[in-house]
Amino acid sequence: MKRSLIATIALLIWTAAASAQVNDSTWSSSDITTLKRWVDSAPLDALPRMSSTSLDRAVVEGDQQSIDDEATMLALRLARAHLLGSATQAERAGWNIVDSDREIALEPMLERAVEDDTLDTFFALLRPAHADYSALKTALANETDADRRKAIARNMERWRWMPRSLGSDYVLVNPARFEADLWRDGAKAETWRVIVGKKSTPTPVFNAMIEGVILNPWWEIPASIVRESVGALVRRNPALARERGYVWSNGQYRQRPGPNNALGQMKLVMPNRFSVYMHDTPNKNLFEEEVRAFSHGCIRTGDAIGYAATLLEGVKTREDVDSIVASGKTTTVRIARPVPVYITYFTAVRDSAGAVEILPDIYNRDGAIRANLPD
């Protein structure tokens, strides 16, 4: 069992145990020492060092109730920072991945940790469990270049905006890396090249569920693209428009399935409010480009049929998929179990050797996030 999965299970067990009825706990001097050690070490996780002045004052005055109150408030602030991040709403603008960790009840967990003298475990289990976060944390401790340190710190913060548990199987798309990774049982199983949105039409950050695959899809042409190009083509050269498969149907422009279809031969069923999908493309040559930012926001996927066949394992064989594609018939196939997909944006990533690579910030998003750095 992989480390991230073990950590996630441990947090779930801890949360369940802490939800039981417990009595108010008293903070001992040992607990205070542990808490202050975590406060002081927060910058190692690219978090700001929080003030302990009120707690220190309560300790000097010797009022146990004040000590308990101040220690609890400080510990909860630090716990929420480790679990959810320290960024403001303005810094998180455009990050639309739903973080289920917000539903975790930290108060009973903290109370149980104080009672059982397990504060170290409490805080450790709140860090992002993904191996990429661990690699960034190690890199931050050893990095001396100021710009690289800032990039690492900002991306550690982004990991805190992700759910700790991404699922046993999931797809993680990183437009900054132009790649989509399929993770299974806590390990990266396969990677596909992707083409993402141009700087003028960037791919948004969001999460969805992959429910199925459409083979030989129709393209429902967005109004913005009709205004930009398709509408003018239909007016100026209707014969060429028909040749390319453009038709007017049910009050909108559509494109028939076929070799010229903008979606290629595959589109994922992944409902989302952005109408952004992973799909094939007829322009396969663009996958050879190093910087692959060419789309209107959707995610064009390399070896799209192979990707579809991988997601459909247990439902359709590769031969079945190829046969449906060859038929030219529009066919929707549901996958055996819906798979979460996370469209992210990380500009500091773990490479194949476990080191950290800094990627170009193609959408100029990094500058909006503070970089909390250790001294």
Residues labelled catalytic: 279, 298
Backbone angles phi, psi at 356, to 5 degrees: -110, 130
Sheet holding 219-220, edge to edge: 219-220, 252-255, 246-249
Q: Which residues contact 13 (CB under 8 A, 6 or more apart)?
A: none
- What is the residue whose two structure tokens read 């990991």? 159
Closest listed residue to residue 337, CA positions, set 305, 303, 304, 314: 314
Q: How far apart are CA 259 and CA 263, in angstroms?
A: 9
CB 5 within 8 A of CB 337: no
CB 2 within 8 A of CB 186: yes
CB 179 within 8 A of CB 291: no
Sign of CA dihedral 284, 287, 292, 298: positive
Side-chain-facing half-sphere of 289: CA atoms under 13 Å? 12
**Per-state percent for the chain, helix, strand, coil, to nearest 5:** 40, 20, 40
- What is the residue whose two structure tokens read 């209107």? 296
Residues in the chain: 375
